[in-house]
A and B are shown apart, each in its own frame.
Chain A
Amino acid sequence: MGARMRLFWHKEPFDLEGTERLFMAAILQNAAYHMRHCDEYRCIAEAEHFRPDLVQTLPDITKLPLLPTALFKRHTLFSMPKWRIPVKATSHGTSGNFSRIGLDTGSLLAGLGMVLRMARTRGLLSLRPVNYIILGYKPHRGHHMAVMKTAYGSTFLAPALHRVYALKPQGDTYQPDLEGVLDALQRFSGQRHPVRFMGFPSYLWFLLQMMEERGMRCPLPPGSKIMLGGGWKQHYREQVEKPVLYALVKRLLDVDETEIIEFFGAAEHPILFTDCPYHHFHVPIYSRVLIRDVHSLEVLPTGQTGLVNLITPMLNAVPVTSIMTDDLGVLHEGTECPCGCKAPYLEIIGRVGMPDIKTCAAGASDILKGVDA
């Protein structure tokens, strides 16, 4: 079994020290693989004088060619012929562009190990049948969004009785159907089977607000869980403080804060980050997180805000070994969290870019772009 497979099936998902050599071996093999099989990756690596053998110990991972996710949105980079890639996924493209990512058979197997270990840390693996409410997209042919696949995948952690979706395909687009979700919620609330929510926090917030306006309460059966992930999508403005959301969940659904589990991940870094009971995203052994200075891209010490650089040896299909997201984040020492996990944890602070308001000068440039065309 290769270093990657041993890493992803390692028993302790937060044993960073114990798996460091395994991680480094897997990274070295992964980078070398992409250099052999992806012309673009090799071209970039050579331009930056990178060679896989330069990566020996953990501090060397800063030398890996650093590819912004925006590059995957503008170019299709693959290290394998398409027929060898059984699962294709895209980022959900908040701004209209999306990355095309593929999962090769090896990474799917590796990913299975990871999902089982990570799900177990928050008690998500169960044989007891549950009703699922997916606050996200219903799978539909022709749609490859990674969030959709993750949400669907999560309905296998415990056997599914029913799956109800908040976003339903209608022609080429998706339409929200929160009324349908409320009907189902009332039905499920009276049953003895636990209910599991999975999806976007923004939709949970909208749903809870609808319930509150109508004076509805739906206490869920014991063992119910709420899994959240995928960010606030285009609803950044409505973003609420987590404690407010948790309190509303308790009041209207009677689910304790400890049963709310959040996920973090990206199509270009398909590592399942699950939060600890204090809702911190500790970095699991499959991944390393570096925070980089917004001007110089130099690696910053813990506690400082910068661009988030995510590193994993998981994928052979696409060269996402070391990617830089559009997020701004901070890495905290694991010891700052009372949960006992020693792995550092990642806090996402926001997104890069202009503040909401458009400047008049920026508006004028939209016009000028058309002038020469």
Chain B
Amino acid sequence: MIFANGKIYPSDVQNRLLDALPEQICNTRETQTLRCETVIQALDRMSRRIAAGEFTDRVADPELRRQIGFAAGRLTQEALRLKVRTELGDHWEAPHASEPFPGQPTFTVQNVPLGVILHIAAGNMDALPAWSVIEGLLTGNINILKLPQADKGLTIEFFRMLTEQTPELRDFVYIFDTPSTDIAGIRRLASLADGISVWGGDAAVSAVRQFAPVGCKLIEWGHRLSFCYISGEPPAEELTALASHILQTRQLLCSSCQVIYIDTSAQKDVLDFSEHFLPYLEAAASMHPVSDLGMAAQLTLRRRVQALESVLSGEVSERRIFQGEHTSVTACPDSQLELSELYGNVLVKPLPRQSLMRELRKSAGYLQTAGLICPAGERAKLTELLIRCGVNRVLPPGRMSDTFLGESHDGESPLRRYIRTVNLL
């Protein structure tokens, strides 16, 4: 399905719509201005309609309904105003005079939309494609969204309802279901854009870098990895919180803990901690059972193959697995940040604080959250060091996925990237 001009079209008219799009977009840019307040009011109404069940009544999956309910809470005018204010400041749309400086004339400085943003969204969270477009709308941009393959049709339905309710938004949202394999189609979309906002893994980001026209601004939201850093004797309640976060998120989020680093260079400490931590994970698993049979089976098969390969090669793995009934802790001798086996199977590695910088720099650009467990007197110093290493969030272990209104995303204010600042005399 394609969404354009406030209407839904079948996928096979894509090229016909693309033929008309450049002219349409030029017209919109020439004649229409989208005010932030118009968007906020429109979304606030949508948020109330969703809360009243107008949207979720067609969603069967209760988990998805819950997620939509949560997302709708972020669309109230109070929430949106806070977001815009935090990221762009008050009166960001209003022209203002430049700072006076002796011998230089006073310029007028104004924030304006980037223009046209192509959003290439990932399929790992259902509300993500819509959210990316909403950020583009708040900053007054024309938005072209390339839907992820896994989209369930809700994104189009959301914008159909929104533009029907507030027709001023109609010429600012286009949605295409162009498959990622249709390179020619995606190139045509990209040729219209002033900026490309891409969400996803390595492959998605480097593909966009290949075809983005020179001069087109790239706004990359790549995947990230998170870890927990433990220095000193960890209190039991902190370990309980960490274990429960690991099981609750099933280690599937960018902010989920994949590796637990111990501030030590002695492998014995790593082994001791691994053994000590397993009962915490097992207890958390009984509170938040991981019922995915297919995942468990895959892990078991992989372990079996690894065991047989180590028999065949005669090489003994230096990793030691502490296997529980539903979870496992693997003690490793190396310090590399890597993805765990997910679903309650965490890695434990040594990383003395003297090596933090050198080791974490190898993962520069992929660091997100560090859960930190340490004596109170060391917290400030270690937090500072983790930030210097490139970590963007330092939080208590049980709250590694906590968010707040107006938060930065991977160290940036997203809305800032969707505007440009012009100077007039």
**Which residues in window 284-339 of A have CB below 8 A to B?**
294-295, 297, 305-307, 324, 326, 328
Among residues of B, the one whose C-beta sits closest to the C-beta of A70 is B305
Q: Tell me which of A177-185, A224-232, A354-362 binds B.
A: A354-362
Any chain A CB within 8 A of the CB of B69? no
Most buried by A among B252, B258, B294, B336: B294
Which of the residues A68, A295, A328 comes within 8 Å of B294, measured between beta carbons?
A328
**Which residues in window 297-334 of B have CB below 8 A to A?**
297-298, 300-302, 304-305, 308-309, 311-312, 325-326
Contact A367 B366 (CB under 8 A): yes
Q: A356-B150, A359-B342, A367-B366 are in contact. Are A74 and B254 (CB under 8 A)?
A: no
Contact B305 A368 (CB under 8 A): no
Nearest chain A CB to B127 CB, angstrom units: 13
Any chain B CB within 8 A of the CB of A241? no
Contact B251 A363 (CB under 8 A): no
Any chain A CB within 8 A of the CB of B225? yes
Query: How far, in angstroms, from A365 to B6 measured CA to CA in the complex?
Result: 39
Nearest chain B CB to A262 CB, angstrom units: 23
Nearest chain B CB to A142 CB, angstrom units: 26
Q: A295-B296, A364-B223, A365-B338 are in contact. Are A358 and B124 (CB under 8 A)?
A: yes
Query: How far, in angstroms, from A103 to B239 measured CA to CA in the complex?
Result: 55
Among residues of B, the one whose C-beta sits closest to the C-beta of A308 is B297
Q: Tell me which of B11-19, B95-103, B167-175, B195-203 binds A.
A: B195-203
The total of chain B residues at the interface (CB under 8 A) is 46
Any chain A CB within 8 A of the CB of B141? no
Interface size class of A (residues with CB under 8 A): 35 or more
Contact A363 B293 (CB under 8 A): no
Q: A43-B312, A372-B362 are in contact. Are A359 and B124 (CB under 8 A)?
A: yes
B201 partner residues in chain A, CB cutoff 8 A: 358, 360, 363-364, 366-367
When each residue 343-363 of chain A gets 1 if its CB lies under 8 Å from chain B and 0 otherwise, what string results?
A: 000000011111111111111
**Which residues in window 265-318 of B have CB below 8 A to A?**
292-298, 300-302, 304-305, 308-309, 311-312
Any chain A CB within 8 A of the CB of B396? no
Query: How far, in angstroms, from A156 to B302 measured CA to CA in the complex?
Result: 39
Most buried by B among A40, A362, A364, A368: A364
Query: How far, in angstroms, from A241 to B150 measured CA to CA in the complex?
Result: 21
When each residue 249-269 of chain B gets 1 if its CB lies under 8 Å from chain A and 0 otherwise, what string results?
A: 001111010100000000000
Contact A294 B312 (CB under 8 A): no
Most buried by B among A74, A359, A372: A359
Contact B336 A365 (CB under 8 A): no
A328 partner residues in chain B, CB cutoff 8 A: 293-294, 297
Contact B122 A360 (CB under 8 A): yes
Query: How far, in angstroms, from A367 to B254 measured CA to CA in the complex?
Result: 13
Nearest chain B CB to A321 CB, angstrom units: 14
Contact B311 A368 (CB under 8 A): no
B123 partner residues in chain A, CB cutoff 8 A: 357-358
Contact A352 B311 (CB under 8 A): no
Nearest chain A CB to B149 CB, angstrom units: 9
**Which residues in window 206-259 of B have CB below 8 A to A?**
222-226, 251-254, 256, 258
Q: A68-B304, A352-B294 are in contact. Are A44 and B342 (CB under 8 A)?
A: no
Contact B252 A359 (CB under 8 A): yes
Contact A368 B339 (CB under 8 A): yes
Contact A367 B326 (CB under 8 A): no
Q: A71-B308, A358-B123, A365-B225 are in contact. Are A324 and B293 (CB under 8 A)?
A: no
Most buried by B among A75, A353, A360: A360
Nearest chain A CB to B256 CB, angstrom units: 6
When each residue 35-75 of chain A gets 1 if its CB lies under 8 Å from chain B and 0 otherwise, what string results?
A: 00000100110010000000000000000001110110011
A356 partner residues in chain B, CB cutoff 8 A: 150
Among residues of B, the one whose C-beta sits closest to the C-beta of A367 is B202
Nearest chain B CB to A365 CB, angstrom units: 3
Q: A356-B150, A359-B252 are in contact. Are A372 and B224 (CB under 8 A)?
A: no
Any chain B CB within 8 A of the CB of A370? yes
Query: How far, in angstroms, from A306 to B293 measured CA to CA in the complex?
Result: 8
Contact B202 A294 (CB under 8 A): no
Query: How far, in angstroms, from A117 to B302 measured CA to CA in the complex?
Result: 37
Among residues of B, the one whose C-beta sits closest to the C-beta of A75 is B312
Interface SS majority for chain A:
mixed
Contact B312 A361 (CB under 8 A): no
Nearest chain A CB to B226 CB, angstrom units: 8
A297 partner residues in chain B, CB cutoff 8 A: 300, 304
Q: A350-B294, A360-B254, A371-B363 are in contact. Are A324 and B304 (CB under 8 A)?
A: yes
Any chain A CB within 8 A of the CB of B370? no
Contact A294 B362 (CB under 8 A): no
Most buried by A among B292, B297, B305: B297
Among residues of A, the one whose C-beta sits closest to the C-beta of B336 is A372
B302 partner residues in chain A, CB cutoff 8 A: 70
Contact B305 A367 (CB under 8 A): no
Contact A68 B305 (CB under 8 A): yes
Q: A71-B308, A328-B297 are in contact. Are A361 and B256 (CB under 8 A)?
A: yes
Q: A328-B293, A355-B294, A371-B363 are in contact. Are A47 and B222 (CB under 8 A)?
A: no
Contact A361 B339 (CB under 8 A): yes
Query: How far, in angstroms, from A350 to B297 measured CA to CA in the complex?
Result: 11
Query: How far, in angstroms, from A47 to B310 measured CA to CA in the complex?
Result: 11
Query: How far, in angstroms, from A306 to B301 measured CA to CA in the complex?
Result: 12
Contact B251 A361 (CB under 8 A): yes
Any chain A CB within 8 A of the CB of B337? yes
Contact A307 B297 (CB under 8 A): yes
Nearest chain A CB to B338 CB, angstrom units: 6
Q: A326-B301, A368-B366 are in contact. Are A295 and B326 (CB under 8 A)?
A: yes
Contact A363 B202 (CB under 8 A): yes
Nearest chain A CB to B404 CB, angstrom units: 19
Among residues of A, the one whose C-beta sits closest to the C-beta of B221 is A360
Among residues of A, the one whose C-beta sits closest to the C-beta of B226 is A361
Most buried by B among A43, A294, A370, A372: A294
Contact A353 B295 (CB under 8 A): yes
Which of the residues A66, A324, A352, A360 comes within 8 Å of B223, measured between beta carbons?
A360
Among residues of A, the one whose C-beta sits closest to the C-beta of B343 is A354
Nearest chain B CB to A25 CB, angstrom units: 27
Nearest chain A CB to B419 CB, angstrom units: 26
Q: A297-B300, A371-B362 are in contact. Are A361 and B293 (CB under 8 A)?
A: no
Closest 9 CB pairs of A and B: A363-B201, A365-B339, A364-B223, A363-B223, A359-B252, A352-B297, A294-B297, A367-B202, A352-B298
Pick 25 A–B contacts, CB within 8 A, sort by A: A68-B305, A71-B308, A75-B309, A294-B296, A295-B325, A295-B326, A305-B293, A306-B297, A307-B301, A326-B301, A351-B294, A354-B294, A355-B294, A360-B252, A361-B225, A361-B251, A361-B342, A364-B223, A365-B225, A365-B338, A366-B223, A367-B201, A368-B225, A368-B338, A372-B362
| Known contacts A295-B300, A367-B366; 7 further A-B pairs (Cβ under 8 A) | A68-B305, A352-B301, A354-B298, A358-B123, A363-B201, A364-B254, A368-B339
